[in-house]
Structure 1
Amino acid sequence: MASKASRWSPQWFRPEILPLFLTVGTGLGISGFAVVRNFAINPDVRLNKEDRKAGILENYEEGQSYQEHSFRTLLRDRRPEIMPSFNDFVSKPK
């Protein structure tokens, strides 16, 4: 009689579903990062009662620092392309 582990493994670990697991896992990771980032440092989200009592705050400096994060400042001077060298190779004549 086969053990439970030997029956379970071929049923769930098929090679053709691994890209699906990878895609769903990546999507969950990105959405989890966005939720944690917004809850942790977004100036418009207030979780404790004292901050919510304050109402609408005029905190433009804090909002500007949230919007202009380090990844955005890193990419500010670059062209908005994924593969610029390949695009140049394909599109520009020799």
Structure 2
Amino acid sequence: MANRWLRPEVYPLFAAVGVAVGICGFQLVRNICINPEVRVSKQNRAAGVLENFDEGEKYAENFLRKFSRNRAPEIMPSINSFFADPNRG
């Protein structure tokens, strides 16, 4: 039975599922630990709706969003410009 699942063809599937579970776990831990709208302790839940706009802004404007804000949405810009730019070539 174990020999059926441990074939080399199955390794990419295990890797893809492992990456997906890792991303889900990271997002879960991130939301529980630093999201201003998630309150785990009883004392924080009793506070009700808080007007904490600064904390929400800090959470929403993370490093990756600030880094990619003024960049073109391209994975390989040099290859894209090589094939798409009519002035080249």
TM-score of the two chains, using structure 1 as the length reference:
0.85
RMSD of aligned alpha carbons: 1.4
Which of 32, 41, 47 does residue 25 from structure 2 map onto? 32
Q: Secondary structure at the match of 2:36?
A: coil
Cα distance between partner residues in 2 of 1:39 and 1:57 = 17
The sequence identity of aligned pairs, in percent, is 51
Q: Number of matched residues?
A: 87
Structure 2 counterparts to residues 1-80 of structure 1, below 5 A? 8=2, 10-80=3-73
User: Following TM superposition, by how much is the alpha carbon of 1:12 offset from its aligned partner in structure 2, in angstroms?
Assistant: 3.1
In our comparison, the structure showing a higher alpha carbon Rg is: 1
What is the CA deviation profile of residues 3-39 of structure 1, one whole-angstrom value per residue up to 9, with x for unaligned ones? xxxx84x433211111101110110111111101000
Aligned to 1:90: 83
Q: Which amino acid aligns with 1:30?
A: I
Cα distance between partner residues in 1 of 2:19 and 2:83 = 30
Cα distance between partner residues in 2 of 1:22 and 1:40 = 27
What is the CA deviation profile of residues 45-71 of structure 1, one whole-angstrom value per residue up to 9, with x for unaligned ones? 000011101100000000000000111
Mind listing any 5+ residue stretches in structure 2 that lack a counterpart? none
TM-score of the two chains, using structure 2 as the length reference:
0.89
